[in-house]
A = this chain, B = another copy of it.
Amino acid sequence: MPTVSSEELATAAGVNSAKLRKDFSYLGSYGTRGVGYDVEYLVYQISRELGLTQDWPVVIVGIGNLGAALANYGGFASRGFRVAALIDADPAMAGKPVAGLPVRHTDELESIISDNGVSIGVIATPAGAAQQVCDRLVAAGVTSILNFAPTVLSVPEGVDVRKVDLSIELQILAFHEQRKAGEENAPSPVPPRSGAAVRAASENRKGPDGDVPAVMPA
């Protein structure tokens, strides 16, 4: 029986082995003392807890540059996600095949969602249309949304929104970049107290309960 010790996994992942063991214990995952964890069982258990054993139908709304790229991306299927439909408001796109699927018009949005039991939606429309699309998705029964549009979506309680903001990713890199440059020469105008604000700026969004809105002017 192939096994791994928490120490091996921890080293590979670059984390503390005690944390790993404690986390596993929360999952009810019992290893064998003196031996380690049964790899197969461990994988199964984590997969199940993470929801990877069932597959989730998703819809992508807004089949432009980004939406088409997402539709073509094979990485979703391999993680248990199935693209149930591609939806766009442009009548000219309706019926056109993208990544092997015909693009459906926005009119069909509600029926597509309910027919397929979709609970996860991806929004890749322009920012101006995002909230409206979001509202329709939620009304139709979607309870999880992955948003690429640079807008803060407001949703009723019980609906999760994750926002992917590529500009912020770059800003975080730029922030560290600037910091690197500043270290060598003159001390930063701000003393390196390394306080909460600085650290918070390096982190990503905190969780499902509300993203940090962009306060900087575009």
Contact = CB atoms under 8 A, between A and B. Distances in A.
Interface of A: 9, 12-15, 19, 22-28, 43, 46-52, 54, 56, 58, 64-66, 68-70, 72-73, 75-76, 78-81, 119-120, 143-146, 150, 158, 160, 162, 164, 166-167, 169-178, 180, 189-191, 193, 195-208, 210, 212-213, 215-218
B200 A23 contact: yes
Given A43-B216, A150-B75, A176-B208, A170 B65 contact: no
Contacts of A208: 176, 202
Q: What is the oligomeric copy number?
A: 2
A184 B177 CA distance: 47
22 contacts: A12-B213, A19-B196, A23-B200, A26-B193, A46-B215, A50-B216, A56-B174, A65-B68, A65-B69, A65-B73, A68-B69, A75-B167, A79-B218, A81-B167, A143-B177, A144-B173, A145-B173, A146-B170, A162-B173, A164-B164, A164-B166, A199-B207
A120 B173 contact: yes
A178 B48 CA distance: 10
Contacts of A174: 50-52, 56, 80-81, 120, 144
A162 B172 contact: yes
Contacts of A15: 212
A122 to B, nearest CB: 8
